Amino acid sequence: MKKQDIIFGIHAVEALLNNSPERVIELWLLQGRDDERLMPIVNAASQAGVKSQRAARKVLDDKAESTQHQGVVARVKAAKVLSEADLDGLLNELSAADKTPFFLILDGVTDPHNLGACLRNADAAGVHGVIVPKDNSVGLTAVVSKVACGAAEIVPLFQVTNLARTMRHIQEQGVWIVGTAGEADSNVYQADLKGALAIAMGAEGKGLRRLTRESCDSLISIPMAGSVSSLNVSVATGICLFEAVRQRLG
C-alpha cells in the first residue's frame, strides 16, 4: 500500500481540507486561476494552515496523471484502509446512538468511475458505510475521489477479506441484506427497506457472485420497461438507495 496518494478536483480537495486537513502534504493550484470556484479551496487551506503553491497546467497534469484536475492537486497521506474491525466499531456506535444501520455492499465493482458515483449516491442517501471485497474491487484511487465529488472523504469504505463472512456477521447484528438480481420475483418497490438494512449490488453485466447472492436475505429486481436488460451499477444503486430513503421518510 502506498503511503502517499494524489487527490485532485475541486470538490474532492475541498472535502479533504474540511474533513482531514492533517492528511494534506502539498497543495498545488493552477497559476493565474483566481475565480469564484477556487476561492473555497484557498479559504479552507488558509483556515487549516495548509500552504498552497501555484504551478503551470503542465505541472498539474503530470502530478495528477490526468487533465481532469480542475486546477487543484494535492499530495496527501494515504487514507487508513478500514477493515472488518472498523465496521464492528461503526455498528457499535450506531447501536449506542440508537440509529438504524444503512449500508451499501458493492460486489466486484472494478471501475473507479462507478465506485466514485456509488459513493456520491451513498453520501446523498445517508448511507453509514460502503462495504467492498479487498480482491476483485477498486479501492480509493484519485479518480474515485474526483468522481465522488468529496463523498470519498466522508463515507467510510470498508474493504473486507471475505465478503460472504462479513455479510453473515452483520446479519447476526440484525442487519437485513437485500441483493439485486434481474430474475428476482419481487421488485425494489415491493420490498420493505425501512429497518436495519444493507443493499447489495453486483457489477454491471455479471451481477452478484453466487456466494454473495446466497448470503442475501432476499433478492429484488428493478422493473425494466425498455429493451436494455441492465442499468449501470451507479444508476441502479441510486434507484435502490433512494427507494429506501423514500420509505424511511414515509
**Residue 149 predicted with pLDDT over 90:** no
Residues 182 and 213 in one domain: yes
* Total tally of structural domains belonging to the chain: 2
Residues 54 and 114 in one domain: no
Alpha-carbon distance of 76 to 184, in angstroms, equals 43
Residues 159 and 221 in one domain: yes
At 160-179, the pLDDT tens digits run 999 999 999 999 999 999 99
> Which of 36, 55, 77 lies at the terminal end of a domain, its last residue?
77
Residues 182 and 216 in one domain: yes
Residues 133 and 155 in one domain: yes
At 101-145, the pLDDT tens digits run 999 999 999 999 999 999 999 999 999 999 999 988 888 877 787
Please tell me the predicted confidence (pLDDT) of residue 190. Answer: 96
Please tell me the predicted confidence (pLDDT) of residue 225. Answer: 84
Residues 153 and 131 in one domain: yes
Residues 42 and 150 in one domain: no
Residues 92 and 56 in one domain: no
104 marked among binding-site residues:
no
222 marked among binding-site residues:
yes
**Residue 2 predicted with pLDDT over 70:** no
Residues 160 and 222 in one domain: yes
220 marked among binding-site residues:
no
Residues 16 and 137 in one domain: no
Q: What is the mean pLDDT of residues 154-158?
A: 92
> Which of 23, 56, 77 lies at the terminal end of a domain, its last residue?
77
Task: Please tell me which residue, 168 or 206, carries the higher pLDDT value.
Answer: 168
> Which of 49, 77, 105 lies at the terminal end of a domain, its last residue?
77
CATH number of the CATH domain containing 29: 3.30.1330.30
* Domain containing residue 137: 84-249
Please tell me the predicted confidence (pLDDT) of residue 233. Answer: 94
User: Percent of the chain beyond pLDDT 90?
Assistant: 66
At 27-36, the pLDDT tens digits run 999 988 878 8
Residues 243 and 173 in one domain: yes
Confidence tier at 224 by pLDDT (50, 70, 90): confident
**Residue 72 predicted with pLDDT over 70:** yes
CATH number of the CATH domain containing 195: 3.40.1280.10
Residues 240 and 203 in one domain: yes
